[in-house]
Amino acid sequence: MIQVTERQFTFQLKDLAETLGWLFYHPFLSVHSARGYPDCTLVRPPRIIVCELKSEKGQPTAAQHEWLEALQHCPGVEAYLWRPADLDEIVRILQAQTLPKAYEHGFPIAVALQPVEE
């Protein structure tokens, strides 16, 4: 199996997202950004997705976990940790017109961190 780098994966996601009508943001250089903030933000009203991208073997940092965990508590925000092997699930998520109803919680699989019910 060919190993996909995080950089290559980012370009794949960008192409996919834009093809499906999403606005896509990834900082050019994250040197002055908050440590651990997710790699990408995608917007296609009424949805907003933030996602941390990793290669198959890459592991999220504690700061990345903290951001994803905090974002799960924001109603309407979908937060994911995605790897190249998750591409079929990513396509399904990006094709959906509304906020997905149910996903598994936790890392390191592709996850939708659901808003907490009050």
For the stretch 45-66, pLDDT in tens is 999 999 999 999 999 999 999 9
> Using an 8 Å Cβ cutoff, are 6 and 54 in contact?
yes
Does 74 score more than 90 pLDDT?
Answer: no
Rounded to whole angstroms, how far apart are CA atoms 18 and 14?
Answer: 6
Full strand arrangement of the beta sheet holding 40-44: 23-25, 40-44, 47-53, 77-82
Fold of 6-95: Trna Endonuclease; Chain: A, domain 1 (3.40.1350)
pLDDT, tens digit, 9 for 90 and up, residues 33-50: 778 999 999 999 999 999
pLDDT for 104 beyond 80:
no
* Cα–Cα distance list, 65 to 35, 36, 72, 97 (Å): 11, 8, 11, 27
- At 71, which helix (H) or strand (E)? helix 62-71
